[in-house]
Structure 1
Amino acid sequence: MITIESLTKTYGRFTAVDDVTFTAEPGRVTGFLGPNGAGKSTAMRVMTGLTPATSGSALVCGRRFADLPNPGLEVGVLLDASAQHAGRTGREVLTVAARTMGLPALRVTQMLDLVGLTAAESERRVRHYSLGMRQRLGLATALLGDPEVLILDEPANGLDPAGIRWMRDLLRGYADQGATVLLSSHLLHEIEVVADDLLVIGHGRIVARGTKAELLASAGAVVRSSEPESLARALETAALAFTRDGDTFRVDADTDRIGHVALSGSIHLTELRAADGAGLEDMFLELTAATQRESTPSEGAAA
Structure 2
Amino acid sequence: MITVENLTKTYGQYRAVDDVSFVCRPGQVTGFLGPNGAGKSTTMRIIAGLTPADSGSATIGGVRYHDIPNPGTQVGVLLDASAQHAGRTGREILAIGAQTMGLSSSRVDEMLELVALTPSESKRRLRDYSLGMRQRLGIAHALLGDPKILILDEPANGLDPAGIHWMRSLLRTYADRGGTVLLSSHLLHEVQIIADELIVIGQGRIVAEGSKDELLAGAGTLVKAVDEQRLAAVLSGAGIAATPAANGGLQADADPAAVGRVVAGTDVVLTELRPADGAGLEEMFLQLTSDTQRENTTIQGASA
Please indicate, yes or no, whether the TM-score normalized by the shorter chain is above 0.5. yes
**In structure 2, C-alpha distance between the alignment counterparts of 1:180 and 1:18, rounded to whole Å:** 24
Match of 1:78 in 2: 78
Letter in 1 for 2:279: A
Question: Contact 1:16–1:203 (CA<8 Å) still a contact in 2?
Answer: yes
SS state of the match for residue 44, structure 1? helix
> May I ask how many residue pairs the two structures share in their alignment?
288
- 1:1-303 alignment runs, 5 A limit: 1-222=1-222, 235-236=235-236, 239-243=239-243, 250=250, 252-255=252-255, 259=258, 273-293=274-294
Q: Deviations over 1:113-159 (max 9, x none)?
A: 10111111111111111111111111000000111100000111111
SS state of the match for residue 72, structure 1? helix
- The alpha carbon displacement at 1:212 in A equals 1.5
Letter in 2 for 1:64: R
**Would the alpha carbon gap of residues 229 and 165 (structure 1) be closer, same or farther in structure 2, given more than 3 Å must change?**
closer
**Would the alpha carbon gap of residues 136 and 222 (structure 1) be closer, same or farther in structure 2, given more than 3 Å must change?**
closer
User: Normalization by structure 2: what TM-score?
Assistant: 0.85
Match of 1:300 in 2: none
**In structure 2, C-alpha distance between the alignment counterparts of 1:133 and 1:114, rounded to whole Å:** 13
Q: Deviations over 1:185-238 (max 9, x none)?
A: 11111111111111111100111111112222222224689xx99997774356
**Would the alpha carbon gap of residues 274 and 128 (structure 1) be closer, same or farther in structure 2, given more than 3 Å must change?**
same
Question: Contact 2:222–2:252 (CA<8 Å) still a contact in 1?
Answer: no
Question: Contact 2:27–2:175 (CA<8 Å) still a contact in 1?
Answer: yes
**In structure 2, C-alpha distance between the alignment counterparts of 1:259 and 1:169, rounded to whole Å:** 37
SS state of the match for residue 146, structure 1? coil
Letter in 2 for 1:282: E
SS state of the match for residue 7, structure 1? strand
**Would the alpha carbon gap of residues 244 and 71 (structure 1) be closer, same or farther in structure 2, given more than 3 Å must change?**
closer
Extract structure 1 runs of 4+ deviating beyond 4 A: 228-235, 260-263, 265-273
SS state of the match for residue 279, structure 2? helix
Question: Contact 1:74–1:149 (CA<8 Å) still a contact in 2?
Answer: yes
Letter in 1 for 2:258: G
- Could you tell me the percent identity over the aligned residues? 64
**In structure 2, C-alpha distance between the alignment counterparts of 1:259 and 1:170, rounded to whole Å:** 40
Q: How large is the Cα RMSD of the aligned pairs? A: 2.8
Question: Contact 2:235–2:259 (CA<8 Å) still a contact in 1?
Answer: no
**In structure 1, C-alpha distance between the alignment counterparts of 2:220 and 2:122, rounded to whole Å:** 50
SS state of the match for residue 16, structure 1? strand
**Would the alpha carbon gap of residues 276 and 86 (structure 1) be closer, same or farther in structure 2, given more than 3 Å must change?**
same
- The alpha carbon displacement at 1:282 in A equals 2.0
Deviation larger for 281-290 or 111-120: 281-290
- The alpha carbon displacement at 1:103 in A equals 0.6
**In structure 2, C-alpha distance between the alignment counterparts of 1:212 and 1:33, rounded to whole Å:** 12
Q: Which has the higher contact order (CA 8 A, sep 6+)?
A: 1
Match of 2:298 in 1: none
SS state of the match for residue 135, structure 1? helix
Question: Contact 1:5–1:57 (CA<8 Å) still a contact in 2?
Answer: yes
**Would the alpha carbon gap of residues 191 and 266 (structure 1) be closer, same or farther in structure 2, given more than 3 Å must change?**
closer
- The alpha carbon displacement at 1:278 in A equals 2.6
SS state of the match for residue 36, structure 1? coil
**In structure 2, C-alpha distance between the alignment counterparts of 1:46 and 1:195, rounded to whole Å:** 22
Deviation larger for 66-75 or 234-243: 234-243
**In structure 1, C-alpha distance between the alignment counterparts of 2:120 and 2:229, rounded to whole Å:** 68
**In structure 2, C-alpha distance between the alignment counterparts of 1:188 and 1:200, rounded to whole Å:** 12
**Would the alpha carbon gap of residues 49 and 261 (structure 1) be closer, same or farther in structure 2, given more than 3 Å must change?**
same
Structure 1 portions without partners, runs of 5+: 295-303
User: Normalization by structure 1: what TM-score?
Assistant: 0.86
**Would the alpha carbon gap of residues 89 and 63 (structure 1) be closer, same or farther in structure 2, given more than 3 Å must change?**
same
